[in-house]
Amino acid sequence: MKVTINNRILEADPGETVLSVAAGAGISIPTLCHMEGLPPTGACRMCVVEDMETGNLIPSCSQPAFDGMKIKTHSPKALTARRTIVELLLANHPDDCLYCIRNGCCTLQDYSEELGVRQRRYNGERSTYDLDVSSPSIVRDPDKCILCGKCVRVCEEIQGVSAIDFVGRGSDTRIGCAFEEGLNVSSCVNCGQCIMVCPTGALSEKDDTARVIAALRDPEVTVVVQHAPAVSVTVAEDFGIKQGTDIVDRMNGAMRRMGFDYIFPTSFGADLTVIEEASELVERINSGGPFPLFTSCSPGWIKFMEEFYPDLVDNVSSCKSPQQMLGAVIKRLWTGENGINPRKVFHVSIMPCTAKKFECDRPGMREGSVRDVDAVLTTREFIRMIKMFGIDLDLVTGEPADSPYGECSSAGRIFGASGGVMESAVRTAFYMLTGADLPTLEVRELRGLEGIKEVAVNIGELELKAAVVSGLGNARKLLDCILAGEKAYHFVEIMTCPGGCIAGGGQPFTADPQVIKSRMTALYSIDSAASVRTAHSNVSLKKLYDDHLGKPGSHAAREMLHTSYAGREVLK
Amino acid sequence: MGIDHVKEILSSRPGKGRDKLIPILQEVQEAEGFLSKESVELIGNHLKLPASKIFGVATFYNQFRFHPLGRFHIQVCRGTACHVKGSAPILDSLIKELDIQPGKTTEDGLFSLEVVACIGACGLAPVIAVNGEFHARIESDQISDIIDSYRKKAV
């Protein structure tokens, strides 16, 4: 099929949309509602292009290309239509870009600039709604919403949660939860995927930078920071460094310049999780179940399970997430060893995730009144802080993390990609069951960005069946198969965000799947280059068990590193 | 009345899917007077639809309410004739006097407010109906007295 776009003859596949043909030829057509991989809604009309045969404007996102079609994507008529759409959207939009969290990374702002909007042509009454600040993770500002519907779609069609939908009609339409209650009492799992697709500042992470800066300023407070493995492979993107570059050492340097007193990688906590979770798996294998064992690292999945699949509570690993394990070790053990009053320690966690802000407040995540993690910053908040502190990452020299928890295996670092937890746990479970390491440590079947992956690993007599799922919509599909008896596994990893933490709701904005892929590749190259590649060969971790915890799953370990779940009543 | 009644309605309409939603919402509202959270949750479980979706559909239509009716249910006609005769300031006065928006019920449960498109009494415009009792050719400064008269009845 041949299509003429902007006087160039292009080849189109049957059923392919004009938008997609144009994109393939490097012609970028603006759109506010298009979502890659989902059927078009044609809601925003930004993508209209001119059909040169009829002179009509047609939405390129939903128009299939046909043979002989002649299109101009940026004809004066199309440009005028787009500019008018932006002007009309701005007519009901607060003029507060300078104060907006999306200032500089807002699609509406970009299009307004690209189309040369220089004045407010339409004045009229603007809608005013209350901010929803009820959630520990996500702030909703309906005044800035342009009703593109992407948040509703990602919540329903990708995550299978449906916490929000369109409410009302006509000019009164807004996005809200059932009965317009706060997000905190809705079925929202705090994953933040809605923020990732929002073209404006209508959705954002709850900003905790001020609390962290206040702690850094207080001379009496020791500020200890942990940072997740999916952070150091994304921060670079915002500083003009090649995407997919791991800058963990430079990040350590930057954090010291900002005034953080101690730096420990969350991957140490991940190694700890691997040991505890693998021993939980081994215990279940020896005692015959219950199977499958589900991973528990992803707090969005945990809340999802408590709301929609409460019968699975006993199947989910009781292990806390790496963030909370490391937090507990720092606040409850490390402070004692170093003669520091835990009440004078402020523990910051830098995460690719908005749900971690919710997780650190869950029951059991504190000892007495001392919280294990005091503040969680997303990657985006951390990037804002680096810029605020005037740090030029190009000029920062790499520095190691602090001891004793600075050592981590690469098994603890691949946690950031979907399949990483499973691969690391399989490495260690194999060792625990056979006393030897896997002949090849890589479990290739578990790598990649597919939503559902399966593998069978032979461990001695046992054929260990495992599955890896990312995206809660995919999780729903797999869980329903498991509950219907169509599938059976020993061990299932579930990550809330599609692709895992590298595509978490707290990461730098990107709509490009190649960027996500580069983040994943970065993590696996760290693994292939590492000398310590299994959690059980982490020497500092072994010392932690020898000095304090005893054996994996011991009473001391259970007290500090494990938690419990319960069904959750929400309107869903 | 009550949750059992809603369950009865649902069992008389088996099967899931969103095409059955609106008739069910109408029947439940008819029986209950409004759509409660409990009813929405039951309907959602029955049709396999999320509560946010049901609420979204229901708020699209003016006919659905989410608060129980007040002891005195006030219908304000905003039809053409009443509009020409000044029903907009009357509605504003009612909103001010009762301190509620249309579709809501006062905290004491005495009054609920509803905007209707035409009450079929154009000759009496502008008109409001309180529990079916018509108040014809009213002006906005009469609203306080009308509301007071019902408050007295309630004592």
Give the tens place of pLDDT for each residue, A396-448.
Answer: 999 999 999 999 999 999 999 999 999 999 999 999 999 999 999 999 999 99
Q: What is the pLDDT of residue B1?
A: 57
Q: Is residue B48 part of a domain?
A: yes
Give chain B positions within 8 Å (CB) of A164.
Answer: 52
d(CA B40, CA A178): 9
Handedness of CA A171, A176, A179, A182 (dihedral sign): negative
Among candidates A30, A75, A35, which has minimal Cα distance to A57? A75
Q: Is residue B126 part of a domain?
A: yes
Q: Is residue B65 part of a domain?
A: no
| Lookup: tokens for A328 | 């507990």
Q: Are A404 and A390 in contact (CB under 8 A)?
A: no
Show the domain range for B84.
72-154
Co-location of B105 and B138 in the same domain? yes
d(CA A464, CA A398): 41
Co-location of B43 and B92 in the same domain? no
Give the tens place of pLDDT for each residue, A132-189.
Answer: 999 999 999 999 999 999 999 999 999 999 999 999 999 999 999 999 999 999 999 9
Domains detected in chain A: 2-88 (3.10.20.740), 127-206 (3.30.70.20), 210-561 (3.40.50.1780)
Type of residue numbered A509 = F
d(CA B97, nearest CA chain A) in Å: 22
In sequence order, what DSSP letters do the residues of A402-465 get, joined into one string? -SSS----TTTTGGGSTTHHHHHHHHHHHHHHHSS--SS---GGG-SS-SEEEEEEEETTEEEE
Q: Is the CB of residue B59 less than 8 Å away from at least one CB of chain A?
A: yes
End-of-domain residue from the set B15, B30, B60: B60
Average pLDDT over residues A514-540: 94
d(CA A151, CA A137): 15
Co-location of B83 and B49 in the same domain? no
Record: contact A165-B66, CB cut-off 8 A: no
DSSP state of A46: T
Average pLDDT over residues A74-94: 97
End-of-domain residue from the set B60, B80, B109: B60
Co-location of B31 and B92 in the same domain? no
Co-location of B107 and B46 in the same domain? no
A:B CB pairs within 8 Å = 51
The domain that holds B85 is classified in CATH as: 3.40.30.10
Q: Is the CB of residue B48 less than 8 Å away from at least one CB of chain A?
A: no
Give the mean pLDDT of chain A: 96
Co-location of B45 and B99 in the same domain? no
Co-location of B92 and B148 in the same domain? yes
Co-location of B103 and B146 in the same domain? yes
> Cα A346 to the chain's mean position, in Å?
24
Whether A318 shows a pLDDT value over 80: the answer reads: yes
Co-location of B78 and B144 in the same domain? yes
Q: Is residue B8 part of a domain?
A: yes
Q: Is residue B67 part of a domain?
A: no
> CB neighbours of A356 closer than 8 A, spacing ≥ 6?
A299, A321, A323, A349, A376, A506
Give the tens place of pLDDT for each residue, A359-392.
Answer: 999 999 999 999 999 999 999 999 999 999 999 9
Q: Is residue B53 part of a domain?
A: yes
Co-location of B25 and B47 in the same domain? yes
Co-location of B53 and B119 in the same domain? no
Q: Which run of H or of E encompasses A252?
A: helix A248-258
Co-location of B44 and B92 in the same domain? no
Q: Is residue B9 part of a domain?
A: yes
Q: How many domains does one find in chain B?
A: 2
Record: contact B37-A168, CB cut-off 8 A: no
The domain that holds B9 is classified in CATH as: 1.10.10
Give chain A positions within 8 Å (CB) of B41.
Answer: 571-572
Q: Is residue B40 part of a domain?
A: yes
Give the tens place of pLDDT for each residue, A445-499.
Answer: 999 999 999 999 999 889 999 999 999 999 999 999 999 999 999 999 999 999 9
DSSP state of B120: S
Q: Are A373 and A327 in contact (CB under 8 A)?
A: yes
The list of chain B residues with pLDDT below 70 reads 1
Record: contact A165-B40, CB cut-off 8 A: no
d(CA B109, CA B154): 11
Record: contact B53-A165, CB cut-off 8 A: yes
Among candidates A417, A453, A474, which has minimal Cα distance to A161? A474
Q: Are A523 and A394 in contact (CB under 8 A)?
A: no
